[in-house]
Amino acid sequence: MGEMSMGHIQATGELVLANARIVLEREVIRGSVLIRDGRIAAVDTGAAPAGAVDCEGDLIIPGLIELHTDNLERHIQPRPKVDWPHAAAILAHDGELASVGITTVFDAMRVGSVISGGRTDYRKYARPLASELMQARAKGMLRISHFLHLRAEVCSETLLDELAEFGEADRVGILSIMDHTPGQRQFRDLSKLKEYVCGKHGLSEDEFADHIANLRAIHARLGAAHEAGAVAAAQKLGAVLASHDDTVADHVQVSAGHGVRLAEFPTTVEAAQACHDHGIAVMMGAPNLIRGGSHSGNVAAAELAEKGLLDILSSDYVPSALMTAAFQLADLWDDLPRAIATVTATPARATGLVDRGVIAEGLFADLVRVAHLDGVPVIRGVWSHGRQVG
């Protein structure tokens, strides 16, 4: 997978970022980066040329790559039952990500809706929103690179019909198989599910019981067909297949059989270890790392990091968390290049993006200038395809 020229504004001319600590894949060097026509033309440890931007010893790292974020959904529905104008929401989302150093994003959109049981909060939205996003990209309205991440909800009633509406032109880079059937995976503990659902939607005891019964009935009727259909859709779209909330080794065994290459938020050490045994990259939430644990009571990202079982970070529901967590990992591992790779090189490799993710000649000039002050990463410049966007 790579970037198509249409819809992404690429800078022309030359720019040199000098007197910087440049974070490469395995080391940090002092030098300069030459940007020419939107790509990295050279990485040099010599003296800074005349006219260069003096980075004053700040770090230069690759632009962050975000594989799973709910941020666009948050912008189109900033509060329950509020549908914000989508064009404005897309631009605000795009600008927010640029401001926190994210230069490539896989925008997560749920496919598969529940239309029975009186629910109004789980309706179809992905196809029209994706169309608006692609139109904004085609018109050059966006600052950073956008791909789609379709979150295929197995426990739904319309998944196959919704998936059929997407094609190769939609830039679907990831398709994740989600199964939010109550009583398993992320919500094995029904008390946690009750706390989440009732807190968010204000359901009564009886309404919650009906909600559980309805979802379980849907899964019994359609779950197997939906899982098979999601796997087939990923193959058709050329998307990387991801699992979601694997909990036990058996879940991972099934994932491996489907051809899964990326595991989103495994909930236990057992599942994360099984993923590594099968060569599946493990992604954990940056908020989990920063907060010191999962808000759902699942395994802590820090525990997986300490065991060598964390490969990729995702900002999940807080875009700025991605940069903060990467530097937190650098402290935990005492290895800045390794930590930065979890938000740059490794997610690029996991999704087949060979044109970014590291600072190397010929790749896109997706770069972030960062000062590390009092333990806090402070962003002082963001370039996407050589154009300054933050």
> Which residues are 240's β-sheet partners?
174
Residue burial 224-237, b: 16+ Cβ < 10 Å; e: rest: eebbebbbebbeeb
Indicate whether 20 and 75 sit together in one domain.
no
Task: Locate 201 and state its tokens.
Answer: 């939607």
Please check whether residues 241 and 101 belong to one and the same domain: yes
Q: What is the pLDDT of residue 198?
A: 52
Q: Judge whether 32 and 49 are in contact, CB under 8 Å.
A: yes
- Convert the pLDDT of each residue in 36-94 to its tens digit: 999 999 999 988 888 899 999 999 999 999 999 999 999 998 888 888 999 999 999 99
Cα dihedral 16, 19, 23, 26, rounded to 10, equals 110
Q: Are residues 257 and 380 in the same domain?
A: no
Model confidence at 5: pLDDT above 70: no
Contacts of 386 (CB under 8 A, 6+ apart): 10, 11, 15, 35, 36, 37, 38, 39, 364, 365
Q: Which CATH number fits the domain that encloses residue 144?
A: 3.20.20.140
CA–CA distances in Å: residue 118 to residues 4, 90, 195 = 42, 29, 20
| Longest CA–CA separation in the chain, Å | 72
Output the pTM of the full model: 0.91
Give mean pLDDT, residues 384-390: 97
Q: So what's the pLDDT on residue 18?
A: 97
364/216 same-domain check: no
Q: Tell me if 53 sits within 8 A of 386, measured CB to CB.
A: no
Question: In the chain, what are the helix, strand and coil shares in percent, each to the nearest 5?
Answer: 35, 25, 35
Query: d(Cα 315, Cα 288) in Å, to the nearest integer?
Result: 9
Please report, to the nearest 10 degrees, the dihedral formed by the alpha carbons of residues 318, 60, 35, 14 taken in order.
100
- Write the CB contacts of 197 (distance below 8 Å, at least 6 apart in sequence): 203, 208, 211
Q: What is the percentage of the chain residues whose pLDDT exceeds 70?
A: 87
Same domain, 365 and 324: no
107-159 pLDDT per residue, tens: 999 999 888 765 555 788 999 999 999 999 999 999 999 999 999 998 888 99
Do residues 57 and 39 share a domain?
A: yes
| Residues 98, 18 within the same domain | no
Q: Which of 67, 62, 64 is nearest to 358 (CA)?
A: 62
Measured distance between the N- and C-terminal CA atoms of the chain, rounded to whole angstroms: 25
Same domain assignment for residues 20 and 39: yes
pLDDT, tens digit, 9 for 90 and up, residues 201-229? 555 666 666 656 767 777 777 778 999 99
Residue 102 has pLDDT above 80, yes or no: yes
Of all residues in the chain, the percent with pLDDT exceeding 90 is: 75
Q: Where are the beta strands (DSSP E) in the chain?
A: 14-23, 28-36, 39-44, 53-54, 59-62, 64-69, 102-111, 145-153, 172-178, 240-244, 262-264, 281-285, 312-314, 367-373, 376-384, 387-388
Higher per-residue pLDDT: 61 or 200: 61
Residue 321 has pLDDT above 50, yes or no: yes
Look up the CATH number of the domain holding residue 10. 2.30.40.10
Residues 54 and 80 in one domain: no
Q: Which amino acid is at 322?
A: L
9 vs 104, 130, 390, CA distance in Å?
A: 13, 20, 14
Structure-token match 């490969």, residue found:
311
- Whether the CB-CB separation of 17 and 60 falls below 8 Å is answered with yes
Same structural domain, 4 and 130 = no
The whole-angstrom separation of Cα 217 and Cα 308 is: 39
Return the closest-CA partner of residue 279 out of 259, 265, 298: 259
Per residue in 335-373, pLDDT tens?
999 999 999 999 999 999 999 999 999 999 999 999 999
- For 181, other C-beta atoms within 10 Å of its C-beta total 18
pLDDT in tens, 257-316: 999 999 999 999 999 999 999 999 999 999 999 999 887 778 999 999 999 999 999 999
Q: How many domains does the chain have?
A: 2
Domain that holds residue 47: 1-62+356-390
Does the CA dihedral 378-106-139-41 come out positive or negative?
positive
Same domain, 34 and 142: no
Within this chain, do residues 116 and 126 fall inside the same structural domain, yes or no? Answer: yes
